[in-house]
Structure 1
């Protein structure tokens, strides 16, 4: 073989004394191969310096220096900013990022996670889909280094990074109560998400601290979508005693909420006070600027990557859960 040519799987097969199909199975992990045969193929790969793809290199080096991120890019504009933070931190550590969109559907999430595993990523950052459990359980049982991101669970056998939701949403609700509002509504997120449940709990806590009773008629789910947020506002404003203030549980719904309020001819901050969660880059560009609870996106992204790399280098370390505090961005939509 001329020195200038690159070895191929055919060359590896010839040196190892196996078929090309067997080499493919070893490289791609598509079928069980006898240990002695696999060892022969790995020796051939190392001897010939085969670098046909990252998977083959990982068989020799023990890692691809890559991490997978399984996340729903459509679920919330906040996730796009989070991805930027993740990529920056991963790159600074010498890792590349493979992104897979779960579409917030369990079946798609399972397929995308398995696709990432087939690429032999060193670990996975996962934002669980509503109702997920099987995918997380599969990753844990297989010993795949995994960090759950944003949507935390009650599991104690996996690393997790997210924001504190209960006390912060309580603070938003209490702020509205302190301004004299007695009918404070909530546009809640999609059912089955820990963030939705925690922010709803925080809302109820804030009502209690503000001396206000719980009223189920003042709560409507926006299903964590723009259209759902608009529909939730229509429901709340059509009530016999509509709210005078609203807590909106994420920015995906906030877009629909703002459109619907303006379609009703209401003035934000005057006719209806609004506060929200997430704080996208346009939050201070709308009129009036939005009072929000801003998530520490950079810290969440960096913390998730660092926790995953720590898990990769030390598989037996105790699982860690990081809850990072958001901060209040006090603007004019609350009517102050």
Structure 2
């Protein structure tokens, strides 16, 4: 056999003096094959470099054993952790993952969905751009189950697994606001997505609970950097520029909530440059508990997101849908955790 020839199931069987059917059952972990035979087959397959032909297997099973994963931007620490959790859980279930990145571009999202349809994946996990919710309908029409991640497009009737963002923000703000807090600012992303809407709703619920007037506690949109219709990774200077233009020694909030911990970096700098301190003059609450949050000075109070749990829960739900596609829509919102550090006193 030359190096250019693909090792087949028959090659493994011939080397061991077994039937191809026995080798196939042994590699698939089927019954009626002894443990000693299974071990011999596995060792010989490894020695010869045998790799199962996924195309042939899909023709027999009717499945590709591949799950599509559509992510807006893998540089986001939450999504990076989510990808790892999904890949790990899919691998445990015998599935491979096909990753496609949209960068919040509707054009890239439509291209990704078409690619998944051409590939014929068994199911899809996706973070939607939410600019065109109908783009996901083609997958459902092709009987490919879809589980939404993080962002919820409720009007499409798709399963959803994400975080209870509204409750996380509401509970965190109420907890860290001191009795003298009268002015709170929320520095939010300018994307029109459900997670942003949920943070704003949670923020306003907290203001109501605290008896703070909404007009003294604005939602300030940080311009999201874009190029050719796609959003780019967060940078502290986006929030710094906005905060520096608004915060002065005589005009500053008691508490700033940021939509992500990168924004908090920029806010820290703006506060210090005008001679104020964190948390003495302005307290800061972040969102995401990114790796650097605990190492800031002062360490950043922030909301930790359960990326691993979101990923494993979503994969488990999708694999159940692949086997049994019927049933009511599932909407799972997992709790987040407030990590209190020195930035809120």
Classify the TM-score, shorter chain. Answer: 0.7 to 0.9
In structure 2, how many angstroms separate the alpha carbons of the residues matched to 1:265 and 1:159? 49
Question: Which deviations, in whole Å up to 9, do the C-alpha atoms of 1:185-211 show, x marking residues without a partner?
Answer: 001123311010011011011011011
The alignment covers a number of residue pairs equal to 292
C-alpha distance in structure 2 between counterparts of 1:74 and 1:252, whole Å: 15
In terms of mean alpha carbon deviation, does 251-260 or 95-104 score higher?
251-260
* Partner in structure 2 of residue 242 of structure 1: 252
Q: How does 1:1-336 map to 2 (within 5 A)?
A: 54-55=54-55, 57-73=57-73, 76-155=76-155, 157-215=157-215, 218-223=218-223, 225-226=234-235, 227-237=237-247, 241-335=251-345
Q: How much does 1:175 deviate?
A: 2.6
**Partners in 2 of 1:108 and 1:216 — Cα distance?**
39
TM-score, normalised to structure 2, is: 0.76
Structure 1 residues 101 and 256: CA distance shift in structure 2, 3 A? farther
Deviation at 1:216, TM superposition (A): 6.7
CA distance in 2, matches of 1:198, 1:282: 25
Q: In structure 2, what is the Cα distance between the partners aligned to 1:163 and 1:239?
A: 36
> Which residue is equivalent to 2:33?
none
Q: Deviations over 1:212-242 (max 9, x none)?
A: 0002773211256324322332344269732
Give the drift of 1:309.
Answer: 0.6
Name the CA shift for 1:67/1:74 in 2 (closer, same or farther; >3 Å).
Answer: closer
Compared CA separation, residues 240 and 197, structure 1 to 2 (3 A): farther
Over residues 253-293 of structure 1, what are the superposed CA-to-partner deviations in whole Å (9 max), with x where a residue is unaligned? 33433444444454322232100221112221222111112
Once the two structures are superposed, residues 142-176 of structure 1 have per-residue CA deviations (whole angstroms, 9 ceiling, x without a partner) of: 32211000111323621100100112211222234
1: distance between equivalents of 2:179 and 2:327? 48
Offset of residue 89 of structure 1:
1.0
Question: Structure 1 residues 137 and 264 mapped into 2: Cα distance closer, same or farther (>3 Å)?
Answer: farther
Alignment CA distance shift 1:213-1:87 (3 Å): same
Q: In structure 1, what is the equivalent of residue 15 of structure 2?
A: none
* Root mean square deviation of aligned Cα: 2.8
Contact 1:185 1:236 in 2 (8 A): no
Distance, in Å, in 1 between the alignment partners of 2:267 and 2:93 is 40
| Cα pair 2:252 2:282 within 8 Å, conserved | no
Give distance in 1, aligned partners of 2:275 and 2:75: 28
With structure 1 as the length reference, what TM-score do the two structures score? 0.78
Q: 1:258 to 1:59 in 2, by over 3 A?
A: farther
Instruction: Name the residue aligned to 1:17.
Output: none
- Secondary structure of 1:201's aligned partner: helix
| Cα contact 2:127–2:150 (8 A) shared by 1 | yes
1:61 shift after superposition: 2.5
Q: Distance in 2 between the 1:262 and 1:68 partners?
A: 45
Equivalent pair of 1:250/1:277 in contact (CA under 8 Å)? yes
CA distance in 1, matches of 2:134, 2:206: 34
